[in-house]
Chain A
Amino acid sequence: MTRRNLMLLAVAVAVLGAAPFIGGNYVLRIGTITLMYAVVAISWNFIGGLAGYPSFATAAFFGLGAYAGAIARTAGVPETLAWLLAMLAAGAFSLALGFVILRLRGHAFAIASLVVIEVLREIVTSWDSVTGGGAGISVPFAAATPEAIATYYYWSMCGLAALAFAVLYHVARSPLGFGLRCIRQNEDAANMVGINTTLFKTAAFVLSGVFAAGAGAIYASWTSYIDPADAFDIVISIKAIVMVLLGGAGTVLGPVLGAAAFMALDEFAWSNFLEVHTGILGVLVVLLVLFLPTGISSFSLPDVLRRMRHKHGSPAGASGR
Chain B
Amino acid sequence: MVPLLELRDVSCTFGGVRAVRGVSFRLKQGEIVGLIGPNGAGKTTLVNLISGVYAPASGQILHRGERVDGMKPFRLAARGIARTFQIVQPFPAMTVLENVMAASLFAARRKGMAAARAAAMEQLEFTGLAPLAHRPAMELTLANRKRLELAKSLAMEPQLLMLDEVNAGLNSAEVEQALELIRAIAARGVTIVIIEHLLKVVMTLCQRVVVLHHGELIADGAPRDVVEDERVVSAYLGARYAERYRRRHA
Cα distance, A195 to B75, chains bound together (Å)? 8
Chain B 104-143, CB-CB to A under 8 Å as 1, else 0, gives 0111110011001000000000000000000000000000
Cα distance, A218 to B83, chains bound together (Å)? 49
Which B residues are CB-close (under 8 A) to A182? 91, 94, 102
- Does B89 touch A at the CB level, under 8 Å? yes
Shortest beta-carbon distance from B82 to chain A in Å = 8
A186-B89 in contact given A175-B113, A192-B83 (Cβ < 8 Å): yes
A188 in complex: contacting residue of B89, B92, B102, CB < 8 Å: B89
Cα distance, A189 to B72, chains bound together (Å)? 13
Cα distance, A238 to B78, chains bound together (Å)? 39
- Does A285 touch B at the CB level, under 8 Å? no
Which A residues are CB-close (under 8 A) to B215? none
A196 touches B74 (CB 8 A): yes
Q: Give the contacts of A169-227 with B (CB-CB under 8 A).
A: 173-175, 178-179, 181-182, 185-186, 188-197
- Does B51 touch A at the CB level, under 8 Å? yes
Which B residues are CB-close (under 8 A) to A175? 105-106, 112-113, 116
Q: Give the contacts of B75-90 with A (CB-CB under 8 A).
A: 77-78, 83, 85, 89-90
A185 in complex: contacting residue of B77, B92, B105, B106, CB < 8 Å: B92
Chain B 22-38, CB-CB to A under 8 Å as 1, else 0, gives 00000000000000000
Of all chain B residues, which has the CB nearest A194? B107
Which B residues are CB-close (under 8 A) to A197? 74
Cα distance, A175 to B74, chains bound together (Å)? 15
- Does B93 touch A at the CB level, under 8 Å? yes
Which A residues are CB-close (under 8 A) to B91? 181-182, 185-186, 189-190
Cα distance, A185 to B108, chains bound together (Å)? 20
A194 in complex: contacting residue of B53, B78, B83, B113, CB < 8 Å: B78
B73 touches A192 (CB 8 A): yes
A192-B51 in contact given A173-B113, A179-B102, A182-B102 (Cβ < 8 Å): yes
Which A residues are CB-close (under 8 A) to B43? none
Shortest beta-carbon distance from B127 to chain A in Å = 16
Q: How many A-B residue pairs have CB under 8 A?
A: 70
Cα distance, A316 to B190, chains bound together (Å)? 41
- Does B5 touch A at the CB level, under 8 Å? no
Shortest beta-carbon distance from A313 to chain B in Å = 19
A195-B102 in contact given A175-B113, A178-B113 (Cβ < 8 Å): yes
A193 touches B102 (CB 8 A): yes
Shortest beta-carbon distance from B171 to chain A in Å = 26
Which A residues are CB-close (under 8 A) to B74? 191-197
Cα distance, A179 to B102, chains bound together (Å)? 7
Cα distance, A195 to B156, chains bound together (Å)? 11
Shortest beta-carbon distance from B23 to chain A in Å = 22
A189 touches B77 (CB 8 A): no
- Does B103 touch A at the CB level, under 8 Å? yes
- Does B152 touch A at the CB level, under 8 Å? yes
Of all chain B residues, which has the CB nearest A188? B89
Of all chain B residues, which has the CB nearest A185? B91
Which B residues are CB-close (under 8 A) to A194? 74, 77-78, 103, 106-109, 156
A193-B106 in contact given A173-B113, A178-B113, A188-B89 (Cβ < 8 Å): yes
A179 touches B106 (CB 8 A): yes
Which A residues are CB-close (under 8 A) to B89? 186, 188-189, 192
Shortest beta-carbon distance from A1 to chain B in Å = 16
Of all chain B residues, which has the CB nearest A192? B73
A185 touches B93 (CB 8 A): yes
A181-B94 in contact given A192-B89, A194-B156 (Cβ < 8 Å): yes
Chain B 183-206, CB-CB to A under 8 Å as 1, else 0, gives 000000000000000000000000
Which A residues are CB-close (under 8 A) to B92? 185-186
Which A residues are CB-close (under 8 A) to B98? 178
Which A residues are CB-close (under 8 A) to B108? 194
Which A residues are CB-close (under 8 A) to B103? 193-194
Which A residues are CB-close (under 8 A) to B93? 185
A190 touches B102 (CB 8 A): yes
Which B residues are CB-close (under 8 A) to A195? 74, 102, 106
Chain B 140-159, CB-CB to A under 8 Å as 1, else 0, gives 00000000000010001000
Of all chain B residues, which has the CB nearest A177? B113
A193-B156 in contact given A173-B113, A179-B106 (Cβ < 8 Å): yes
Cα distance, A16 to B152, chains bound together (Å)? 45
Shortest beta-carbon distance from B183 to chain A in Å = 24
A189-B78 in contact given A178-B102, A179-B102, A195-B106 (Cβ < 8 Å): no
A193 in complex: contacting residue of B53, B112, B113, B152, CB < 8 Å: B152
In this complex, the member of A173, A179, A185 whose beta carbon has the largest number of chain B beta carbons within 10 angstroms is A185
- 13 sample A-B contacts, Cβ–Cβ < 8 Å, listed by A number: A178-B98, A178-B102, A186-B90, A186-B92, A189-B90, A191-B74, A193-B74, A193-B77, A193-B106, A193-B152, A194-B77, A195-B106, A196-B74
Which residues from chain B sit less than 8 Å from chain A, CB to CB? Answer: 51, 53, 72-74, 77-78, 83, 85, 89-94, 98, 101-103, 105-109, 112-113, 116, 152, 156
Enumerate the 5 nearest inter-chain pairs by beta-carbon distance, A residue then B residue, closest first.
Answer: A194-B107, A194-B106, A185-B91, A194-B77, A189-B89
